[in-house]
């Protein structure tokens, strides 16, 4: 095949299928044959047009949770990345520049260049194939490439990106460890993977909040190791956390809910002095009124925003899927062919409800 097929987001809620030339590889880059691409809340926000002031704009090929097989690779890239043609790999969403202040400090996921997959360069930037909603993706010379085991089913393996996020947010940034009490607000894909991560890290209490629409997801959370679940439509989550912890409150609260602000304010009331509130849910560009600054100051509460994962958390995610992936299979709820891309995004956004709760949604080219 000399052409790649891609779903291009031309305007909000408007996908068009287009063909692109598959680029020749140079000595330091490669082309990936996409096996699958995972979707997350960011994909839904992007489709709605909420990211128009951020990232590469439109027309763009979305898909930042990309995995597949190395189709062609230049000799220098092969040596540097330690992969060869035919190898199964996952790529990190961000392409670090290697030279900005954050890159040289090792915090390359905050790279100032804003280069990456699915969200950054639009199709006008050569060679156009910058996203996973396609049969092929171009691999830039500075792509962060992780070799994957060959034996793990496709849908389970695509959890590597969201699981790497959960590991960074809960374990690396949240510092959840043995005996910790953690509250996870929002039982979506990332919230549920955060439960599995907190359990693996040794948390003693894992409390998960959700709404009345989340009954199935809260049950999944309990199966993955949550010690308590709270339906916020029926009870006050702050009061319940006070009760569950004998007034000790949480060491860490992770907000992975999207759109709504109440969980942020509740998180500040659920966390103990010196505790940490980790914010990972996008709020549709809304601003928050009523932030109790004095309480944050007086109780030395840390409020931290997180976006992405990194090399170490990605490798940890690959190991966790290899060793205990079976427990995570229940999260893989939907898989769509590329031709059904709009259904995939709408299912993720709960616009299409088929009786089977959408948790982890994947797109495959064939
Ligand atoms: Zn994502
Ligand atoms: Zn950089």
Among 30, 101, 97, 92, residue whose Cα is nearest residue 64: 92
CATH topology of domain 165-305: Rossmann fold (3.40.50)
What residues does CATH 3.40.50.720 cover in the chain? Answer: 165-305
Q: From the CA of 41, how far away is ligand 1's center (Å)?
A: 7
Name the burial class of residue 50, with classes exposed (0-12), middle (13-18) and buried (19+) by CB atoms within 10 angstroms of its CB.
middle
Using DSSP bridges, classify how beta strands 302-305 and 3-11 pair: parallel, antiparallel or unpaired.
unpaired
Among 218, 244, 241, residue whose Cα is nearest residue 229: 218
Q: From the CA of 119, how far away is ligand 1's center (Å)?
A: 10
Q: From the CA of 47, how far away is ligand 1's center (Å)?
A: 13
Q: From the CA of 211, how far away is ligand 1's center (Å)?
A: 22
For residue 66, which ligand has an atom nearest its CA? 1
Q: From the CA of 48, how far away is ligand 2's center (Å)?
A: 28
Q: From the CA of 282, how far away is ligand 2's center (Å)?
A: 23
Q: From the CA of 348, how far away is ligand 1's center (Å)?
A: 12
> Angle of helix 215-224 relative to helix 189-201, nearest 10 degrees?
20
Q: From the CA of 151, how far away is ligand 1's center (Å)?
A: 24
In CATH, what number does 3-160+309-364 get? Answer: 3.90.180.10
Say which residues have a Cβ less than 8 Å from residue 276's Cβ, sequence separation at least 6.
173, 174, 175, 251, 252, 253, 301, 302, 304
- Ordered per-residue pLDDT tens for the chain, 366 residues: 589 999 999 999 999 999 999 999 999 999 999 999 999 988 998 999 988 777 889 999 999 999 999 999 999 999 999 999 999 999 999 999 999 999 999 899 899 999 999 999 999 999 999 999 999 999 999 999 999 999 999 999 999 999 999 999 999 999 999 999 999 999 999 999 999 999 999 999 999 999 999 999 999 999 999 999 999 999 999 999 999 999 999 999 999 998 889 999 999 999 999 999 999 988 877 899 899 999 999 999 999 999 889 999 999 999 999 999 999 999 999 999 999 999 999 999 989 988 788 999 999 997
Using DSSP bridges, classify how beta strands 30-39 and 65-73 pair: parallel, antiparallel or unpaired.
antiparallel
Tell me, what's the pLDDT at 356? 83
E strand map for 103-180: 136-139, 145-147
Q: From the CA of 205, how far away is ligand 2's center (Å)?
A: 38
Greatest pairwise CA separation for the chain in angstroms: 64
Using DSSP bridges, classify how beta strands 30-39 and 136-139 pair: parallel, antiparallel or unpaired.
antiparallel
Q: From the CA of 308, how far away is ligand 1's center (Å)?
A: 8
What residues does CATH 3.90.180.10 cover in the chain? Answer: 3-160+309-364
CA distance 70 to 90: 10
Q: From the CA of 108, how far away is ligand 2's center (Å)?
A: 6
CA distance 123 to 60: 5
């Amino acid at each position: 095949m000399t052409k790649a097929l891609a779903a291009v987001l031309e305007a909000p809620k408007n996908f068009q299928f287009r063909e692109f030339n598959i680029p020749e590889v140079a000595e330091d880059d490669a082309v990936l044959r996409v096996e699958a691409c995972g979707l997350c809340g960011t994909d839904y926000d992007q489709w709605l047009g909420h990211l128009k002031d951020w990232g590469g704009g439109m027309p763009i090929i979305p898909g930042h949770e990309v995995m597949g097989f190395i189709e062609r690779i230049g000799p220098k890239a092969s040596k540097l990345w330690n992969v060869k043609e035919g190898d199964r790999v996952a790529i990190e969403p961000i392409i670090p520049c290697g030279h900005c202040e954050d890159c040289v400090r090792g915090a390359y996921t905050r790279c100032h260049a804003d280069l990456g997959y699915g969200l950054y360069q639009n199709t006008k930037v050569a060679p156009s194939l910058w996203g996973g909603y396609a049969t092929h993706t171009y691999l830039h010379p500075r792509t962060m490439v992780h070799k994957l085991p060959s034996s793990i089913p496709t849908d389970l393996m695509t959890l590597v990106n969201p699981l790497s996020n959960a590991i960074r947010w809960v374990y690396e940034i949240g510092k959840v460890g043995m005996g910790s009490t953690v509250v996870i607000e929002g039982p979506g894909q990332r919230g549920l993977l955060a439960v599995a991560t907190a359990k693996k890290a040794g948390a003693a209490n894992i409390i998960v909040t959700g709404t009345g629409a989340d009954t199935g997801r809260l049950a999944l959370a309990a199966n993955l190791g949550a010690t308590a679940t709270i339906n916020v439509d029926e009870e006050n989550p702050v009061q319940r956390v006070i009760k569950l912890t004998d007034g000790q409150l949480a060491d860490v609260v992770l907000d992975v809910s999207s759109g709504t602000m109440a969980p942020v304010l509740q998180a500040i009331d659920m966390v103990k002095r010196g505790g940490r509130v980790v914010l990972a849910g996008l709020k549709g560009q809304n601003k928050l009124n009523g932030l109790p600054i004095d309480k944050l100051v007086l109780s030395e509460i840390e409020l931290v925003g997180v976006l992405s994962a990194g090399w170490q958390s990605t490798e940890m995610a690959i190991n966790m899927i290899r060793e205990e992936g079976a427990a995570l299979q229940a999260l893989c709820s939907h898989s769509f062919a590329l031709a059904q891309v709009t259904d995939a995004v709408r299912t993720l956004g709960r616009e299409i409800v088929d009786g089977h709760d959408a948790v982890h949604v994947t797109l495959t080219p064939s």
